[in-house]
């Protein structure tokens, strides 16, 4: 198969990234977006692993040694660590990316020329897709270099925006008017029913999305797959995604590719079920199902139960070793005032999710720890347990 070069982009969100992405979709060098704020040592590890031909930064284009071509149909390589923590380069074809962008615009009923606000990192698939939708819609995106001005959401002239739940939560807490957006795509992490209710009460039109880098971003909107996307749940409860948005595997990692892409499906690390109305319900990550006292407990279900308590602003749970129960649940809570007690939360969660899900320790924090892309940092969450109160 013909091949082409791969250029790593160490650039802040902006026109240079947009132009490089447009060139890649049009047949120019494929692009590998990097975090422009990452330490040099981390950047060098990524370059060694993914072997691009050149590094593009604010000083120009720098040729690199030891490069390997990508197949000619690959336009973008996006880094993801997945559930294993091992960095991988997800290879996405121009056809898959364009299908995702076009299907999204169709689902939303977006008209040509309508604008997107890009306030997500453009080295993540969600930010890349905002730029691609703008290209397909022949519109000029509004691009933020960072999400550090919640109030700015209320003054944006864009028609559409993609957010993660933490961003939406902060905007609602600040009283930002979000009704100017025709739709807010909400993905990257599970959104609690309480957050979605608050958004609806505030007049915001929120569309929940489910997907990952391996599917070119969101592939299932409000539980319904985009046109050209297939969804299945296997007998173990694992969600499988397939169709025209699927990635072409992982760069320079044939064994990882063979394990994750099977017979036209991507085997996700998420558990789910198909509801009676045919919509996909995502129950949480398979590696977030823990066993406490011999009973399977979904940490995502505990998160949802905790978040439904009126004295809880935000919440997440993790499990720690327990000599009696094997594993016990720890609740990490951003409280409202007055703060809830552990006994209060135990009773509340047990009523909603069962006795085994009731937390046995409580940590009160000002904010939940987040990764750069706005997802919950589960590793940092567990470290907070050293201060947990039983």
- Asked whether residue 107 carries a pLDDT value surpassing 70, the answer given is yes
Question: What is the mean pLDDT of the segment spanning 154-159?
Answer: 96
Question: What is the mean pLDDT of the segment spanning 138-166?
Answer: 94
Last residue of a domain, one of 280, 315, 349: 280
Distance CA 192, CA 333 (A): 14
3 state SS of 113: coil
**Number of structural domains, the chain?**
2
- The helix or strand, by DSSP H or E, that contains position 38, with its residue range, turns out to be none
- Asked whether residue 168 carries a pLDDT value surpassing 50, the answer given is yes
Tokens of 71: 């197949």
- For the domain that residue 47 is a member of, what is the CATH number? 3.40.50.12780
User: pLDDT of 30-87, one tens digit each?
Assistant: 999 999 998 888 899 999 999 999 999 999 999 999 999 999 999 999 998 654 456 7
- For the domain that residue 359 is a member of, what is the CATH number? 3.30.300.30
Q: Which residues contact 114 (CB under 8 A, 6 or more apart)?
A: 137, 139, 159, 160, 182
Parallel, antiparallel or unpaired: strands 142-143 and 160-163: unpaired
pLDDT band at 2 (very low <50, low <70, confident <90, very high): confident
Question: What is the residue-averaged pLDDT of the chain?
Answer: 92
Predicted confidence at residue 287, as pLDDT, reads 79
Residue 264 burial by CB count (10 A; 0-12/13-18/19+): exposed, middle or buried?
A: exposed
User: pLDDT of 299-329, one tens digit each?
Assistant: 988 999 999 999 999 999 999 988 888 889 9
200 and 148 both lie in a single domain: yes
Are residues 210 and 325 in contact, defined by beta-carbon separation less than 8 angstroms?
no
Are residues 216 and 92 in contact, defined by beta-carbon separation less than 8 angstroms?
yes
Name the residue range of residue 364's domain: 293-387
Question: What is the mean pLDDT of the segment spanning 3-28?
Answer: 97
Q: What pTM, to 2 d.p., does this model score?
A: 0.84
Please confirm whether the linkage preceding 338 is cis (ω < 30° from 0): yes
229 and 357 both lie in a single domain: no
216 and 356 both lie in a single domain: no
User: pLDDT of 365-384, one tens digit each?
Assistant: 999 988 766 778 878 888 88
In a domain, 287, yes or no: no
């Amino acid at each position: 198969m013909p091949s082409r070069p791969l250029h790593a982009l160490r650039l802040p969100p902006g026109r240079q990234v947009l132009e490089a992405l447009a060139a890649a979709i049009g047949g120019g060098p494929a692009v590998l977006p990097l975090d422009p704020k990452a330490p040099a040592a981390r950047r060098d590890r990524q370059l060694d692993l993914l072997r691009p031909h050149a590094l593009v930064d604010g000083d120009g284009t720098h040729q690199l040694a030891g490069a390997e071509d990508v197949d000619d149909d690959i336009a973008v390589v996006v880094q993801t660590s997945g559930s294993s923590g091992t960095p991988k380069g997800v290879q996405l074809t121009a056809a898959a990316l364009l299908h995702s962008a076009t299907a999204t615009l169709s689902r939303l009923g977006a008209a040509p020329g309508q604008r997107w606000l890009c306030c997500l990192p453009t080295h993540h698939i969600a930010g890349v897709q905002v730029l691609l939708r703008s290209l397909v819609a022949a519109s000029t995106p509004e691009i933020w270099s960072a999400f550090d001005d919640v109030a700015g959401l209320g003054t944006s002239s864009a028609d559409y925006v993609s957010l993660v739940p933490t961003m939406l939560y902060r905007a609602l807490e600040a009283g930002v008017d979000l009704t100017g957006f025709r739709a807010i795509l909400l993905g990257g992490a599970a959104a609690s029913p309480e957050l979605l209710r608050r958004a609806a009460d505030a007049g915001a039109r929120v569309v929940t999305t489910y997907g990952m880098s391996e599917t070119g971003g969101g592939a299932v909107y409000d539980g319904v797959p985009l046109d050209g996307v297939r969804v299945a749940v296997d007998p173990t409860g694992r969600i499988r995604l397939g169709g025209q948005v699927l990635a072409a595997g992982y760069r320079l990692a044939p064994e990882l590719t063979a394990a994750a892409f099977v017979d036209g499906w991507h085997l996700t690390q998420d558990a789910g079920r198909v509801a009676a109305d045919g919509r996909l319900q995502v129950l949480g990550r398979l590696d977030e199902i823990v066993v406490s006292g011999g009973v399977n407990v979904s940490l995502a279900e505990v998160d949802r139960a905790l978040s439904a308590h009126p004295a809880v602003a935000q919440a997440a749970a993790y499990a720690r070793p327990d000599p009696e129960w094997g594993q016990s649940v720890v609740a990490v809570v951003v409280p409202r005032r007055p703060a809830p007690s552990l006994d209060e939360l135990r009773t509340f969660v047990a009523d909603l999710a069962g006795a085994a899900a009731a937390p046995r320790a409580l940590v009160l924090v000002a904010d939940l720890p987040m990764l750069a892309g706005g997802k919950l940092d589960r590793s940092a969450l567990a470290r907070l347990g050293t201060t947990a109160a039983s």
